[in-house]
């Protein structure tokens, strides 16, 4: 039931952080991965995917650029023959008090975290629908998509993560007739470059993050993979339009 063997999964933000961990976890379980990211070279760690067997390719694209993203997803469908799953994990964060958030902070955050997710899912779902085989989409919201994480100052990010959950609710209803399930996970504080950048800008945040959940520690990206595998596989065929918190007991 938890099998993802031979499924083709598109993962944005797949060069590092959570996206890379999802790609690796799925590859280890037998999936084929099409990773999309901005980075020119995804780095030597990306080679770990090829050691899993299966077919894995890296595509350089900006998820906010519709033409480039469409051409990339067309290429993926041609290169792999089908698309069975989609994880739009590319995301950015701006940590600045609300009154100091610039229009660029808001526009950049919404462009990647909402518009990028919307377009990626729309383009992948169009392929799944045309194939007639259906598929599974796992979006990435956040505990910031459930409540204020004050004293963090991430208003644009928070708005974007609430938007992801709203999008999931709406399109799960619309895509069910195409046999496409759409869910999201909401990670808590997980050790990645994104979290590191927030902690470097404000060192008091590390203590705040570590004491923010029942387990009193930061999470590792591998600790999210089980939930993603479940949602991507036939273990969850009656599950759609839902969000799953994986946050060490934060809320």
Residue among 76, 243, 54 at smallest CA distance from 167: 243
Q: Is 41 exposed, middle or buried (0-12, 13-18, 19+ CB in 10 A)?
A: exposed
Using CB under 6 A as the binding rule, whether residue 193 contacts ligand NAD is answered as: yes
Residue 69 C-beta: closest distance to ligand NAD, Å: 8
> Is residue 190 a contact residue for ligand NAD (CB under 6 A)?
yes
Distance of CA 15 to the CA centre of its chain: 12
67 binds ligand NAD (CB under 6 A): no
The verdict on 12 binding ligand NAD (CB under 6 A) reads: yes
**CB of 62 or CB of 243, closer to ligand NAD:** 62
Sheet architecture: strand order including 32-37: 56-60, 32-37, 8-12, 85-88, 135-140, 180-187, 243-246
194 binds ligand NAD (CB under 6 A): yes
Shortest spacing between CB 160 and ligand NAD, in angstroms? 8
What the block records as the tokens of 22 is 């999802």
**How many whole angstroms separate alpha carbon 25 and alpha carbon 46?**
12
C-alpha–C-alpha distance, residues 190 and 183, integer Å: 20
Closer residue to ligand NAD, CB minimum distance, 59 or 80:
59
Q: Which pair of tokens denotes residue 74?
A: 């067309």
The angle at the Cα of 179, spanning 177 to 180, to the nearest 5 degrees, equals: 105
Q: How far is the CB of 176 from ligand NAD (least distance, A)?
A: 24
Residues 92-151 that bind ligand NAD (CB under 6 A): 92, 112, 116, 140, 142
Say how many residues touch ligand NAD, by CB under 6 A: 28
248 touches ligand NAD by CB under 6 A: no
- Residues within window 16-45 making contact with ligand NAD, judged by CB under 6 A: 16-19, 37-39
Contact between 155 and 98 under an 8 Å Cβ cutoff? The reply is yes
Q: Least distance to ligand NAD from the beta carbon of 212, Å?
A: 11
Residue ranges in contact with ligand NAD by CB under 6 A: 12-13, 15-19, 37-39, 62-64, 89-92, 112, 116, 140, 142, 187, 189-190, 192-195
């Amino acid at each position: 039931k938890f099998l993802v063997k031979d499924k083709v999964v598109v993962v944005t933000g797949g060069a590092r952080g959570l996206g890379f961990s999802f790609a690796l976890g799925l590859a280890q379980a037998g999936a084929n991965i099409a990773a999309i990211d901005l980075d020119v070279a995804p780095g030597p760690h990306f080679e770990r995917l090829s050691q899993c067997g299966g077919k894995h390719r890296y595509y350089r694209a900006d998820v906010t650029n519709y033409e480039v993203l469409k051409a990339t997803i067309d290429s993926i469908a041609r290169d792999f023959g089908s698309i069975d799953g989609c994880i739009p994990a590319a995301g950015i964060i701006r940590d600045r008090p609300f009154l100091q958030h610039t229009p660029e902070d808001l526009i950049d955050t919404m462009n990647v975290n909402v518009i990028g997710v919307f377009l990626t899912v729309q383009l992948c779902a169009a392929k799944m629908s045309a194939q007639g085989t259906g598929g599974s989409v796992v979006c990435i919201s956040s505990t910031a998509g459930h409540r204020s994480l004050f004293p963090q100052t991430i208003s644009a990010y928070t708005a974007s993560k609430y938007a992801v959950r709203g999008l999931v609710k709406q399109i799960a209803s619309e895509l069910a007739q195409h046999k496409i399930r759409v869910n999201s996970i909401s990670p808590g504080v997980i050790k990645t470059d994104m979290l590191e950048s927030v902690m470097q800008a404000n060192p008091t945040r590390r203590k705040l993050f570590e004491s923010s959940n029942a387990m009193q520690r930061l999470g590792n990206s591998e600790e999210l993979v089980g939930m993603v595998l479940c949602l991507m596989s036939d273990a969850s065929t009656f599950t759609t339009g839902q969000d799953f918190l994986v946050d060490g007991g934060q809320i």
